Amino acid sequence: MKKIIKYFFLFLFLGLIYIVYANYPRLDIITGFSSKSTASVLLLADRTQLSAEKEDNNFAPINKAKNEIDKTEKTVTATVFGLKSRTAVYREGLGAVLINDTYDKNASYLVPKRNKVPKKLPFPYGNLPQKDTVFSNINYKKMNTIIDKTFDSIHKTRSVLVLYKNQIIAEKYANGFDENSLHLGWSMTKSIVSTLYGILQKEKKLNIHDKAPIAIWKNDERSKITINNLLQMNSGLEWTEDYDNISDVTRMLFLETDMAKIQTEKSFVGKPNETWNYSSGTSNLLSKMLRNYFKTHQEYLDFWYSELIDKIGMHSMVIEADLAGNYVGSSYGWATTRDWAKFGLLYLHKGNWNGEQIFEPSWVDYVTTPTNTSNGEYGGHFWLNSAGYYPDAPKDMYSANGYQGQRVFIIPSKDLIIVRTGLSRMDFNEFLKEVVGSVE
**Superfamily of chain region 140-207+296-437:** DD-peptidase/beta-lactamase superfamily (3.40.710.10)
Q: Determine the Cα angle at 201 with ends 273 and 379, to 5°.
A: 35
The closest of 290, 308, 283 to 199, measured between CA atoms, is 308
Query: Does residue 20 have a pLDDT over 80?
Result: no
At 194-208, the pLDDT tens digits run 999 999 999 999 999
Lowest mean pLDDT among 10-19, 43-52, 125-134, 222-231: 10-19
| Strand ranges for 50-155 from DSSP E | 66-70, 75-80, 84-91, 95-98
344-396 per-position pLDDT tens digit: 999 999 999 999 999 999 999 999 999 999 999 999 999 999 999 999 999 99
> Given this model, what pLDDT does residue 3 score?
60
Residues 6+ apart with CB under 8 A from 199: 307, 308, 358, 359
Helix (H, G, I), strand (E, B) or coil at 383: strand
Averaged confidence pLDDT in the chain:
94
- pLDDT for 83: 84
Residue 18 pLDDT grade (very low, low, confident, very high; cuts 50, 70, 90): very low
| Range name among 1-10, 68-77, 135-144 with the lowest pLDDT average | 1-10
Domain ranges of the chain: 2-98, 140-207+296-437
- Please give the DSSP secondary-structure letter assigned to residue 439: B
Q: Which pLDDT value is given to residue 4? A: 63
Q: Are the C-beta atoms of 394 and 403 separated by less than 8 Å?
A: no
Q: What is the pLDDT of residues 254-311, one digit of tens each?
A: 999 999 999 999 999 999 999 999 999 999 999 999 999 999 999 999 999 999 999 9
Quote the DSSP letter at residue 119. Answer: -
What is the Cα–Cα distance from 335 to 55, expressed in whole angstroms? 18
What Å distances lie between residue 320 and 72, 112, 313, 361, CA to CA? 20, 11, 18, 29
pLDDT of 8 over the 70 cut = no
Is residue 284 within 8 Å of 326, Cβ to Cβ?
yes
Predicted confidence at residue 5, as pLDDT, reads 61
Residue 405's pLDDT band, with cuts at 50, 70 and 90, is: very high
Whole-number pLDDT of residue 82:
87
pLDDT tens column, 33-43 = 999 999 999 99
pLDDT at 15: 47
Position 244 scores a pLDDT of 87
For the question of whether the overall pTM of this predicted structure is more than 0.85, the answer is yes
- The length of the chain, given as a count of residues: 440
Residues paired with residue 422 on neighbouring β-strands, in sequence order: 157
For the stretch 153-163, pLDDT in tens is 999 999 999 99
Q: What pLDDT score was predicted for residue 209?
A: 97
Output the CA–CA distances (angstroms, integers) from residue 439 to 85, 132, 271, 360, 396, in the order listed: 52, 18, 44, 29, 16
* pLDDT of 7 strictly over 80: no
